[in-house]
Structure 1
């Protein structure tokens, strides 16, 4: 039986390794690359539920023994190591947290060399069916654990004890509980190594582990057996990774994430960047001047269509009137000129873009109307960038922005000779960490001469 298990384990490992190599060649990815990058998050409902396992290690019956018999060598720490356990099994996970497993085990119990115990040999065959809990998923620490995992298993077992030495030659069937814990380490996406520590308890046992004493049927013994084994587990299925490690998003979590994203989008749409009372998603002119009346689409009101918002005209007229100065076209022009040169009329840009955003069209139109009404005037266009990005990149970007505004004005009929551009690079006058503050310095401003 032991030789058969060894042959089966060897064939299983060889077949699984060959299959993994074929899959890697098919995907044109070498095994070492997959092993080096196994931590890519895999989302979705598909994950491998089946796995085959093969293991070997040491098994020791702890009690009962006939007086004078024992398995450990008292002169060695932990009694030394004796490879006398072999097993194969299969596991199926109903969910990433819970599953079942079945194992077939063979243990060959005997005294250790130089232990001082009389010679004995007990062959122990066992079949177990157990429930499995993935503790890393149960406690939701799989991301922190990374390649490591931890399984707990507990269930029932049926075993057969057959003494190989001594006067007793009766085979006995018994049963009981079996449970253990298995730390595991993922080698490849579907291949892992594990260390399993298992405790077996026989509730109906009449042989001592040395096989030299058999109690009568009325005197049931309680037997204990401990195993420590190393093994390899290979997942089967179409998924890219076993469910022990695949990042699987719960359907309810997906719904919550989608809802949170929608709420975030609504909040962003309801922003009012120019504080004119019109949300950005309805605002056709998101750079309106503070205090200037706007219509329902956020556009500054200009009933006479002269390119100057009505509130600005009113402000200019009142200012001139309060100073007891005659209302003349020259005075109005000086007031408008001051607004332009003081930066109230500016063109704004999105991140890393050299073309003005659509909300700046009215401000470019304002400058266009002014230059057409004053053909003797020239204008300097100065471009700026925020602090995101390298200095050289931002210097070029600021120049490109000024050039883009110049191109619009020249195509609209303003002579190129009347326009001068100046790139000023980064404007560091605002908080670099504030998205809204950075929007205010991605701009081009005008100075009319």
Structure 2
């Protein structure tokens, strides 16, 4: 019989508080041992307003009661004031997924009963904490997510510009690959300023578009009216405003990454520490980690910033790369029943992280590198989507090692790495498949074990 480590440490907590959070209030349940009767517990339930003073007063009360852990359910963004203020008060705060703390069927559904149920689960160690990064990483995450939203909005407004041109019978996007390039933007500004002569607009072409002036003049011939000019001016102004905001966010992100450092456990006792515990040093800034990640195929400076903002700079939260991959939902769930083992859906995961890794995987798949070879090897038998997920998983594993080790650097393995590390049986099967694909009749003899 296999013995589990959970049998020794069940994660139970003697003094616990749970908060069922709403928009304006929070229902608090406090459960602590009875002072005189062994085995009995005292339970108190009350309502707290979600204002700063009320939450600070709640923190003082919980500290006086010796509460060891405060557990709250992730409810929109309303959990943030409770979590941040109680954490600053010195309490250990756990944010738990609502899916993991569902009430049992058949019980009434009220805020009070939800708080009591959450407290009972927490004191018995039946909940797990979600990943909430420290304050500097949270600030970096706010900036990178806002920048991503602004870039998406800018793209949407660029598409609206093309729709306005199509409404006016202007087919500029059929000739110009980038409407907002040097030549395309000059023509758009001239249209918004009142220029209507197709030849005059075509003369604004620069670079390789100079050879396409006749096609440009034909594409710029339409029914562009004053209404379209006013609409185009508004849309161009919005695009320029968003571009300015994105540039400002780039500056703020760069400044914050230079100020944020990653903690590393050196393994020895810290300076002035008589307990002999491990020391923690801050030696690598987030900017240096981003430059390190930039060497990975498919990852650019902006993608590296997003990845660091989403997974943090301290990999002690994820003991192994597999923990990080599982948290990011880039591996299938194992479902086992009897003798049957199947793979279930991975889940949604962090959309900001998965979006950045998807773009990185798509870029790495087009390179002549280890990651590109991995994509081309998997896409033949698993398809495009699953091959991209596999490459994204590899990128995340590489990222874990580059962040976890302060001296790690990316080293390209080469496109033939898989072939060099295949076992002989796998190589033989691959060779047989290649010969069969060429029309040769080749079969493998069965292996007889004495």
TM tier, shorter chain?
under 0.3
TM-score by length of 2: 0.21
Q: Which has the higher strand share?
A: 1
TM-score by length of 1: 0.21
Flag the structure with larger Rg: 1
Q: Whose RCO is larger (CA < 8 A, sep 6+)?
A: 1
Q: Which has the higher helix share?
A: 2
